[in-house]
């Protein structure tokens, strides 16, 4: 089978399309024929070796974090699915493997695809959709009447976060450039701050909470949230809770994250807001909830580009340039 394999950490030339043997599902896994796979910034961060402190993959490794496809075989003990079922998943973080014609995925991480979506649309949902849901619902408790700031609303995660926050009842202000303004407004943003000409520091301190998807100028984000409010980021610096709660890791990683987030935590403390860096987790159960919202028409799926798998280098280059509006996927 064709697979996109990381051979050494580094630049774009370190990952190559390669012919490999088709894998066999282990106990509790499904073998999925991948029809489309989604790209995310974490893919190029992994390639660059930026996440080595968290997951050190034995190389060579098949890359890729999310996919949509058809079940072709059930491993021993795997149940709940049949051959031919259309499924999608955010695959296990410690194994990856979505950028290949076939992938083995634990049944607990898989869910039936939304009926209303194509494979290409479905492949763009799991990682960004789960991130948005886990941050808004579980961390920020987004609810009716909450005044919420979402930075970077036009990207892969933002395009799920805006309609989800609206559905939960929040009033949403987002930052976007004129390139993304029409999109974020279409998704339901109540107010758009043009980050290319305006700064959050020019605005009153008026948000109840913030979801940060950009990671820069965090002092301005902290300063825009009312005292006692929460700021959750998926793009700035991990902090001790990230290691303890999200990654279930010991004091060593907690200490490292304590150190690298020191400045940010001090800024948050000075602004009298709380700061949390969230690492999303894969979950088939939560994907089923997203499927329901998508099929009900509550959660639209925005695909910026769908590129043939054989041109995955181009998909990486486009995403890595940082201008994607919605999701970038590769089709098989
Ligand atoms: N911790 C986790 O579990 C987790 C999960 C998912 C994602 N993430 C991280 O979250 C971040 C966002 O992910 P993504 O998939 O949404 O990325 P993305 O799709 O690559 O985001 C691209 C978008 O960001 C916008 N943008 C760039 N700079 C901006 C700025 N200063 N202010 C406002 N918008 C800006 C761009 O808009 P313009 O073209 O208009 O400039 C573009 O539309 C990444 O760092 C990713 O690694 C973390």
* In a shared domain, residues 222 and 246: yes
* In a shared domain, residues 132 and 273: yes
Q: Supply the pLDDT for residue 204.
A: 84
pLDDT in tens, 227-261: 999 999 999 999 999 999 999 999 999 999 999 99
Q: Supply the pLDDT for residue 205.
A: 86
Question: Which domain covers residue 34, as residue numbers?
Answer: 2-125+301-331
List the CATH number of the domain containing 310: 3.90.180.10
DSSP symbols for 113-166: PPTT--HHHHHTSHHHHHHHHIIIIIIS---TT-EEEEESTTSTTHHHHHHHHH
Ligand 1 geometric centre to CA of 233 (Å): 11
* In a shared domain, residues 83 and 183: no
Q: Supply the pLDDT for residue 56.
A: 87
pLDDT in tens, 150-192: 999 999 999 999 999 999 999 999 999 999 999 999 999 999 9
* In a shared domain, residues 225 and 258: yes
pLDDT in tens, 189-218: 999 999 999 999 998 888 999 999 999 999
Q: Supply the pLDDT for residue 112.
A: 98
pLDDT at 140 over 90: yes
The ligand 1 atom at the shortest distance from the C-alpha of residue 325 is 43
The torsion region of residue 141 among left (phi > 0), alpha (psi -120 to 50) and beta comes to left
Report the pLDDT averaged over residues 277-281: 98
Side-chain half-sphere of 197: how many Cα atoms within 13 Å? 6
Ligand 1 geometric centre to CA of 214 (Å): 5
Would residue 293 count as lying in a domain? no
The ligand 1 atom at the shortest distance from the C-alpha of residue 175 is 33
Would residue 43 count as lying in a domain? yes
pLDDT in tens, 48-90: 999 998 988 999 999 999 999 999 999 999 999 999 999 999 9
260 sits in which H/E element: helix 251-260
The values of phi and psi at residue 210, to 5°, are -140, 140
Would residue 290 count as lying in a domain? no
- The count of structural domains within the chain is 2
* In a shared domain, residues 247 and 204: yes
pLDDT at 126 over 90: yes
Percent of the chain scored above 90 by pLDDT? 98
pLDDT at 280 over 90: yes
Report the pLDDT averaged over residues 8-26: 96
For atom 15 of ligand 1, which residue has the closest CA?
156
pLDDT in tens, 220-229: 999 999 999 9
What's the longest Cα–Cα distance across the chain? 59
In this prediction, residue 264 has a pLDDT band, given cuts at 50, 70 and 90, of very high
Ligand 1 surroundings by CB, under 6 angstroms: 40-42, 127-128, 131, 151-152, 154-158, 175-177, 179-180, 195, 213-216, 234-235, 278-280, 319, 322-325
Side-chain half-sphere of 261: how many Cα atoms within 13 Å? 25
Would residue 52 count as lying in a domain? yes
Would residue 104 count as lying in a domain? yes
Would residue 174 count as lying in a domain? yes
* In a shared domain, residues 263 and 315: no
As a whole number of angstroms, the distance between CA 46 and CA 51 comes to 6
């Amino acid at each position: 089978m064709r697979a996109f394999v990381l051979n050494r950490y580094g630049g774009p030339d370190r990952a190559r399309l390669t012919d490999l043997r088709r894998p066999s599902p282990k106990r509790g896994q499904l073998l999925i024929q991948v029809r489309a796979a989604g790209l995310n910034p974490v893919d190029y961060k992994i390639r660059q070796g930026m996440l080595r402190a968290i997951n050190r993959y034995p190389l060579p490794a098949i890359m890729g974090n999310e996919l949509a496809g058809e079940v072709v075989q059930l491993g021993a003990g795997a149940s709940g699915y049949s051959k031919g079922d259309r499924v999608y998943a955010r695959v296990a973080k410690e194994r990856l493997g979505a950028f290949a014609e076939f992938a083995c995925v634990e049944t607990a991480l898989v869910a039936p695809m939304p009926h209303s979506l194509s494979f290409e649309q479905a492949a763009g949902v799991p990682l960004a959709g789960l991130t948005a849901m886990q941050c808004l619902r579980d961390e920020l408790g987004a609810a009716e009447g909450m005044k919420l700031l979402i930075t970077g609303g036009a990207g892969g995660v933002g395009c799920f976060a805006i309609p989800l926050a609206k559905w939960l009842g929040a009033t949403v202000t987002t930052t976007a450039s004129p390139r993304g303004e029409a999109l974020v407004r279409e998704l339901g943003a109540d107010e758009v701050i043009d980050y290319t000409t305006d700064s959050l520091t020019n605005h009153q301190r008026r948000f109840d909470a913030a979801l940060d998807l950009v990671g820069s100028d965090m002092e301005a984000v902290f300063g825009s949230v009312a005292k006692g409010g929460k700021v959750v980021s998926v793009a700035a610096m991990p902090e001790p809770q990230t290691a303890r709660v999200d990654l279930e890791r010991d004091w060593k990683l907690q200490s490292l994250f304590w150190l690298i987030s020191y400045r940010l935590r001090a800024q948050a403390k000075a602004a009298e807001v709380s700061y949390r860096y969230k690492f999303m987790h894969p979950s088939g159960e939560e994907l089923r909830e997203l499927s329901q919202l998508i099929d009900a028409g509550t959660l639209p799926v925005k695909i910026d580009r769908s590129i043939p798998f054989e041109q995955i280098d181009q998909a990486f280059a486009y995403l890595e340039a940082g201008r994607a509006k919605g999701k970038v996927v590769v089709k098989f």
